[in-house]
Amino acid sequence: MSKKKTIIWIGAGVAGIILLLFLANLYVKNSIEQQLDEKLQASGYNDLSVNIFLNRFSVENLKLDERRFAGSIDKVKVNGLSYTEYLFNNNIEVDEFEIISPSLTFFPKDTSAKKSSAQQQVHVKNLRVKNGSFSKQPSDTAAATMYAHIPTARVEDIKSGMQLSGLKNYQLELDTLYLRMNPEHYIDVGSVSAQNGQIDISDFKIRSLFTREEFVQRIPYEKDYVRLDVEKITLDSLNFEMRNDSLYLRNPKMTVARAQLDIYRNKLVADYPNEKPLYSKMLREAPIFLNFEKVEVKNSEIVYEEQVEGAEKPAIVRFAAVNGEINDLHNLKELDTQPKITANADFMQGTPVSIDWTFPVFNPQDKFQISGNFGTLEGEALDPFLIPSLNARARGTVNSVYFNFYGNDDVLQGDFRMEYDEFKVELVNKEKEKKGFLSAIANLFVDNEQEPDEGGGQDVRVERTKNKSFWNYAWKGLREGLLDAVGQL
């Protein structure tokens, strides 16, 4: 073969290779366009770049309008597409998939949509999201029930159809998270940092959408007006799994630090009409499975306010310096353990109080046991509660209170013991002046001849009001014991 023919053959071969690569590049580009149109229903995009030589692809200003979600993405970059998987098996496998500045809104699943008989398998070895904004709406005209801003996120080894338990290596940062809890309240989170089960949540808040006055006007029956601030929540190794088609959350230790919980209830509103389940039943019937070996609450505070008829201000009960543990918080039948709560706090103006509380989750009678004690309490400390709620105030010193109650969904019983010195009950009028005669009558029922260190014990038995909470149930037992100890007003 002459030199000239050799050059011609080489030139033709090179031209053929270039043509084949051009056609292959065009084929891949057309395939990507088809995927964008059919799978994502993209309504528009700019600058689709395909380079099969470097095995890189990108698309900019992607607009999406699909049944499940809609929005835009500034840029999508794909590196390392497996041609053999795509061309011969119609599957997508890529080394890197990067989504830059997505702004997407998700809608409820369309249950009427028909599923494809042959699902295309997708495998992304490294997924990255930068500067993402995501929201969820019940419809395209309704307000968002969820919003999150994600500065960075990374997940490795994602496969279509994989379970949550398959997420082994991930990292996520959120600097904004909003969740609608119910028609009256929402959750607002300052930041979330998550990496392979280690989760740190800062500035967690629950707020009402309304002022107290607006809230009371809107609710048809008694509901709690809640305000919660938590400085820090930590989960040391949270695992996500699916169990019997339900979410299963498992974590060895959770810590809640420096929480401030304020609860306001207006008793002038109609009573809640339905039965309120006890905590064991709530766990038993929860829509998800839980197994938290230990939950710690550190240096927190609880304030409960109750507005009653005829009172200018709500009655207030305060627990400061709350520290406690919940062990074996779960709803798994196969576990022999049961939730156990131990806690201590400063009641009102510094009286130490502690409780121990257990309840077997799968007991059909919802049995429980709760015991505790209060330390020295000056009568004046009860004024913020007694004056608005009972138009009374106490004077003198309670040296100690001890109670041990056990019960079920129907009856609470047990024993109550109180030791006190010169304890007096004074009835007051609205101007907070003593009603001398009635106070004297009330104090006839207070045994001030009791020795300070020899408190008598009372047997307590009360029936549960089914449309009230567990804490109302426990309070009825305490109130019964208190009235038996000092006499009824």
| Helix runs in 113-222, H state only | 212-218
Cβ atoms of residues 371 and 294 within 8 Å: no
Give pLDDT tens digits for 107-138. Answer: 876 655 555 555 678 899 999 999 999 999 98
- Candidates 398, 440, 434; CA nearest to 416 is 398
Cβ atoms of residues 460 and 419 within 8 Å: no
364 has pLDDT over 60 = yes
> 69-81 and 170-174 as β-strands: parallel, antiparallel, unpaired?
unpaired
> Per-residue confidence at 15, pLDDT binned at 50, 70, 90?
low
Highest mean pLDDT among 52-66, 427-441, 445-459: 52-66
SS3 470: helix
Least confident of 90-94, 178-182, 335-339, 340-344: 90-94
pLDDT of residue 445: 40
What is the spatial distance between Cα 409 and Cα 393, in angstroms, rounded to a whole number?
Answer: 33
56 has pLDDT over 50 = yes
> Per-residue confidence at 63, pLDDT binned at 50, 70, 90?
confident
What is the spatial distance between Cα 313 and Cα 266, in angstroms, rounded to a whole number?
Answer: 11
pLDDT of residue 427: 75
Cβ atoms of residues 322 and 301 within 8 Å: yes
The H-or-E segment that residue 10 falls in is helix 3-38
What six digits make up the tokens of 3?
A: 């030199």
User: What residues have CB less than 8 Å from 282, skipping those under 6 apart?
Assistant: none
CB atoms within 10 A of CB 193: 14
Looking at every residue in the chain, the average pLDDT score rounds to: 84
Comparison of pLDDT for 72 and 92, the residue scoring more: 72
Question: What's the predicted TM-score (pTM) here?
Answer: 0.85
What is the spatial distance between Cα 180 and Cα 145, in angstroms, rounded to a whole number?
Answer: 5
Query: Please, which contacts does 309-315 make with residues 24 or more away whose CB atoms are closer than 8 Å?
Result: 309/267, 309/268, 310/391, 310/430, 311/387, 311/388, 311/389, 312/388, 312/430, 313/388, 314/264, 314/388, 315/384, 315/385, 315/386, 315/387, 315/388, 315/389
Kindly list the distances between the CA atom of residue 405 and the CA atoms of 165, 337, 352, 359, in Å, as whole numbers in the listed order.
Answer: 41, 21, 19, 12
CA atoms within 13 A on the CB side of 204: 18
Kindly list the distances between the CA atom of residue 130 and the CA atoms of 86, 97, 152, 412, in Å, as whole numbers in the listed order.
Answer: 27, 11, 5, 55
CB atoms within 10 A of CB 483: 15
pLDDT of residue 162: 80
> 289-307 and 246-266 as β-strands: parallel, antiparallel, unpaired?
parallel
Give pLDDT tens digits for 241-282. Answer: 888 889 999 999 999 999 999 999 999 999 999 999 999 999
- Alpha carbon 21 to chain centroid distance? 54
- Candidates 181, 405, 365, 336; CA nearest to 277 is 365
As beta bridge partners, residue 176 has 149
- Mean pLDDT, rounded, for 76-103: 86
Comparison of pLDDT for 200 and 168, the residue scoring more: 200
Cβ atoms of residues 351 and 381 within 8 Å: yes
Give pLDDT tens digits for 306-332. Answer: 998 878 889 899 999 999 999 999 999
pLDDT of residue 113: 53
352 has pLDDT over 90 = yes
436 has pLDDT over 50 = no
461 has pLDDT over 90 = yes
pLDDT of residue 353: 97
User: What residues have CB less than 8 Å from 330, skipping those under 6 apart?
Assistant: 283, 290, 291, 292, 337, 339, 361
CB atoms within 10 A of CB 298: 16
Give pLDDT tens digits for 367-407. Answer: 999 999 999 988 888 788 777 766 778 888 889 999 999 99
SS3 317: strand
What six digits make up the tokens of 317?
A: 């009960």
